[in-house]
Structure 1
Amino acid sequence: MYSRLHDLRAGMTGASLDALLVTGRENIYYLSGFTGSAGALLVIADTHLLASDFRYTSQAALEAPEWPFMQVDGPLLPALRARLADTGVASVGYDASNLTLAQYAQLGGDDPALPFRLYPEPGLLTAMRLLKSPEELARMRAAVALTDAACADLLERVRVGITERELALSAEWFMRTHGAARVAFDIIVAAGPRSALPHAQPTDRPLRAGDLLVIDMGAELDHYCADMTRTVAVAEAPPRAREIYRTCRQAQQAGVDGIRAGMTGHDADRLCRAVIEDAGYGEYFGHGTGHGVGLAVHEEPRLRPGVKTVLPAGAAVTIEPGIYLPEFGGVRIEDLVVLTADGCEVLTAAPKPEELLVCG
């Protein structure tokens, strides 16, 4: 953790920040190892501390022994405001994506009497978290392997008459009973016309012969997330379903074959999107091709139109094009990959046949 703290302080110097307040839970864990539900980190050039309340005194000593603990008996942010005032710092950075307007006001906001100024920090921790260390990748590989196993178990349960909700519950049960702390996000199991809803929630609708079935899930294991999607047909596969599956499969493979570090998020997206557009389904692919994954299931970088950010080697991202036909159904195929200078390493091992798989 000290090497991360060293890198963060170097970034703070470059951004002319005397201090940095860290409030996002993933960022707190990333820097300190602390997993409590209430707390904040304060980083200054020559000191750092973890602030929380009495409930976490012992937990902080176990999880973040390298971080001096500041016990706060009242509201957290006013106490940190007073602490910052005592240090004599002039510029304090904060994570605008993890601080509400009300919390900003508790820190003093734009009060001209405040002895320091508050500035949104320029994404220092976001940039650090982009590049996954070997230890982080090992945890992610384990989460992916568990997700692959849960997918295989779920596909064996697919049959006419079982409900979306029953399949989703079985997948969560499998992951939780095989070591997952939790699911990385609400599992998506969507059948028939509902599979055209990219973020559908499972319902009590029973599966029917000819349904397209979209399954999107991921385990959270040792704090790191997995994310994968597979699409199958139930009992039989209509010709139109086979056609859009084949197109999506070709688009996803174009991404796997062509996406690499050094290209922009826009250019990475185009590799998949062009295949779908050329097949005449461009208007039915309305989301980005992918996103970063790590401590959070959705983080930087983004692979979507207009993103000029260059993708770095060592980032873990999804490649997940989709085609969604209203009132008919949808297809999405998603792998989690690690970007390299020469391409990408696919972590997801669940089968994705070139032709639509029929289950049940």
Structure 2
Amino acid sequence: MNRLDKLRDALDQIGADALITESEVNRRYLSGFTGSTGWVIVTQKDAYLVTDFRYIDQAKEQCPLFTVVNNERKAVEAIANVLKEAGVKRLAFEGSLSFSTYSTWKEAFEGVELMPTSGFMEKLRMYKDASEVEIIKQAVKIADDAFQHILGYIKPGVSEADVALELEFFMRKQGATGVGFDIIAASGPRGALPHGRASDKIIKAGEMITLDFGAQFQGYNSDITRTVSVGEPSAKMKEIYEIVLKAQIAGVEVLRPGISGKEADAVTRDIISAAGYGEAYGHSAGHGLGMDVHELPNLSTVSPFILEPGMVVTMEPGIYLSGIGGVRIEDDVLITADGHEVLTQSTKELLILPV
């Protein structure tokens, strides 16, 4: 079943005639359109892309299943005309819509009931088809290759910012269109910052550095974290590394259809808590991965989701000790019919780089 048919089935379930989305991610997911401006409208019979003159030729090329409508600088009127011609009476929209836009639409779309949705498209995007999986695998490979490359670059005297820049430069040379998020490169005591973006701090011998980064490739993302030591680490850092590694491996091993995000999170949390570091593990075990770096399903203490084939998730437990440092290890994992496939291939054993 293609994406439009999946969407139409979902619209049937909520009693809507059509969906409208302006989200760049959801617009691209449904239509393939990569332009910066446009509205996708999908009804039970037709699909439309409303955009302006800058993108008409591009849209016709990228969206063969869509009727492309030139809004002629009057987007609201153009959308209203599409809805009228398609006979739409109940229009689903995403809950992120601004109140100003909602008010304008309510007045302009005569005879149309506006139906807010929450997580509607995100739930559809949880399930990756074969083409999406292949693109994600390419994004993961770029990140894996970047990790191997950066090991020869990291040394005392280099700044975190330089490491991040080198990672991005390498990934772009390998075909990435960008990074999925601001690269995290946190060394020494800064490793205690779970989202410690790369700074001007200079890396020192004996410090560990946590690298969290991902490649963006053809609209999809990878997300990998590895922590390495620059020279011999302290006994405490070695200790927490082994604990996180044990938790991360156990967390990956339980990923399969039928397990809940809450159960998967608990596997990692129980190991870290039993070692006495439960309070130093304050984030969730993982999250869905795809066109957004963080998407559904989440793996957390309150996750309501049951894992199913086609989902791609991360597994990333960590321990963070204020003033000392931190460790996080993260893989990207595809849920398969009979278990899982670990997409990330970079070693997770503690690497001690020469100084």
Q: Normalising by the residue count of structure 1, what TM-score does the alignment of the two structures yield?
A: 0.94
Deviation at residue 68 of structure 1 after TM alignment: 0.8
1:241 aligns with 2:240: no
Which residue does 2:58 correspond to in 1?
59
CA pair 68-352 structure 1, distance change in 2 beyond 3 A: same
Q: Give the % identical residues.
A: 39
Partner SS for 2:227: strand
Give a deviation string over 1:35-88, Cα, whole Å, max 9, x none: 001101111222221001111011101111221111112253454245424544
The 8 Å contact of residues 336 and 346 in structure 1, kept in 2 or not, is answered as yes
Cα distance in 2 for partners of 1:113, 1:107 equals 6
Q: How far off is 1:356 after superposition?
A: 5.4
How many pairs are equivalent?
355
- 1:45 corresponding residue in structure 2: 44
Q: 1: CA distance between counterparts of 2:265 and 2:199?
A: 31
In the TM superposition, 1:116-265 aligns within 5 A as 116-121=112-117, 123-265=119-261
Corresponding residue for residue 329 of structure 1: 325
Q: Give me the whole-angstrom Cα distance separating, in 2, the residues matched to 1:112 and 1:29.
A: 26
Q: CA RMSD in A?
A: 1.8
Does the 8 Å contact 1:321/1:334 carry over to 2? yes
- 1:9 deviates by 1.1
Deviates more, 1:335-344 or 1:52-61: 335-344
Aligned-partner residue type, residue 201 of structure 2: R
Unaligned segments of structure 1, at least 5 residues: none
Q: Aligned with 2:2: secondary structure? A: helix
Go from structure 1 to structure 2 and tell me whether the alpha carbon gap of 1:264 and 1:359 turns closer, same or farther (over 3 Å shift).
farther
Matched residue type, 2:170: F
Gaps of 5+ in 2: none
Post-superposition shift, 1:224? 1.4
Structure 1 equivalent of residue 101 of structure 2: 103
Q: Residue 357 of structure 1: which of 326, 344, 352 is its match?
A: 352
One-letter amino acid of the structure 2 residue matched with residue 247 of structure 1? I
Q: Distance in 2 between matches of 1:182 and 1:357?
A: 29
141 and 359 in structure 1: CA distance in 2 versus 1, 3 angstrom threshold: farther
Contact 1:51–1:69 (8 Å) recurs in 2: yes
Aligned position for 1:10: 9
User: Which residue of 282, 285, 289 maps to 2:281?
Assistant: 285
In structure 1, the partner of 2:336 is 340
Q: 1: CA distance between counterparts of 2:148 and 2:54?
A: 41
Aligned to 1:107, what secondary structure does the other structure show? helix
Shift in Å at residue 94 of structure 1?
Answer: 0.5
Contact 2:80 2:108 in 1 (8 A): no
Give the match's secondary structure for 2:4.
helix
